[in-house]
């Protein structure tokens, strides 16, 4: 139960911290309208499943074929979460809206899938994040756990992206005006990620 609570908290933290996908969806909405923004969010969502499936298949194979390497991957993932958390303490503007040319909804959808599939940071994220919450003693196979966890993360992120589409102007204006609120949000999120990464790294030892 504690493991799944940690998963829920961390997933919500990642989802609510303004990131490239959220800003892309909002920017695509402002450039081409709400329909283009929704189609872009759908494209990002479907593209995310490529990484979810690849991570689930690869990590499950690793778990069964070379268990020590799977453990090493979990440790590396914990370190990655700590690094992500610490990076949020840097004083930098992460809410700069990308300048996008207007596209039709269909082109926005297709472009978003390609953008997400070819994004190496998404692949690294799922490879580092998902193994942290696998329960080797559970009756559910490891591959199914990874697939379920990845799908939950992808759905959560996309839900927030869709909210940003409907309130694109307000969201972008608020984020860009309120520098203090942005920094507070980043530091709260950073603290959670650092604490969780350390807990996952040393909790079973």
Q: What is the b/e burial string over 185-201, where b = at least 16 CB atoms within 10 angstroms of the residue's CB?
A: bbeebbebbbbbbeebb
Query: Quick one: which H or E segment has residue 64?
Result: helix 34-65
Contact indicator for 39, 112 with CB cutoff of 8 Å: yes
Q: At a CB cut-off of 8 Å and minimum separation 6, what does 127 contact?
A: 55, 58, 59, 73, 77
pLDDT of residue 205: 44
- Residue 48, classified by CB atoms within 10 Å of its CB into exposed (0-12), middle (13-18) or buried (19+), is buried
Report the C-alpha gap between 131 and 33 in whole angstroms. 38
DSSP calls for 98-114: P------HHHHHHHHHH
Contact indicator for 78, 200 with CB cutoff of 8 Å: yes
Q: Which of 88, 86, 79, 83 is nearest to 201 (CA)?
A: 79
Digit-coded pLDDT (tens) for 72-104:
888 888 888 888 778 877 755 555 555 566 678
Q: Greater confidence, 113 or 204?
A: 113
Report the C-alpha gap between 29 and 39 in whole angstroms. 9
pLDDT of residue 173: 63
| Res 193 pLDDT > 80 | no
> How is residue 92 annotated by DSSP?
-
Digit-coded pLDDT (tens) for 35-62:
988 999 999 999 999 999 999 999 998 8
Mean local confidence (pLDDT), 180-194: 72
Most confidently modeled of 2-11, 93-102, 182-191?
2-11
Q: At a CB cut-off of 8 Å and minimum separation 6, what does 1 contact?
A: none
Q: Which two tokens stand for residue 174?
A: 């608020």
Judged by average pLDDT, the poorest of 47-51, 120-124, 164-168, 181-185 is 181-185
User: From the CB of residue 69, how many other CB atoms can be counted at a distance below 10 Å?
Assistant: 11
Query: Quick one: which H or E segment has residue 58?
Result: helix 34-65
């Amino acid at each position: 139960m504690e493991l799944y609570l940690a998963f829920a908290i961390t997933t919500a933290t990642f989802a609510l911290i303004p990131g490239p996908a959220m800003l892309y969806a909002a920017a695509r909405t402002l450039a081409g309208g709400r329909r283009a923004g929704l189609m872009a969010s759908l494209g990002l969502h479907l593209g995310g499943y490529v990484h979810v499936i690849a991570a689930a298949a690869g990590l499950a194979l690793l778990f069964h074929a070379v268990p020590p390497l799977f453990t090493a991957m979990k440790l590396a993932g914990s370190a990655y979460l700590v690094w992500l958390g610490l990076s949020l303490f840097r004083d930098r503007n992460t809410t700069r809206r990308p300048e996008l040319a207007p596209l039709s909804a269909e082109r926005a959808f297709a472009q978003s899938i390609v953008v997400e599939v070819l994004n190496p940071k998404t692949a690294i994220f799922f490879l580092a994040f998902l193994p942290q919450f696998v329960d080797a003693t559970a009756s559910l196979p490891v591959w199914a756990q990874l697939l379920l966890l990845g799908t939950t993360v992808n759905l959560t992120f996309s839900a927030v992206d869709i909210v940003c589409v409907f309130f694109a102007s307000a969201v972008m204006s608020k984020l860009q005006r309120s520098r203090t609120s942005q920094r507070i949000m980043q530091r709260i999120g950073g603290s959670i990620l650092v604490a969780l990464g350390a807990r996952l790294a040393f909790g079973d030892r």
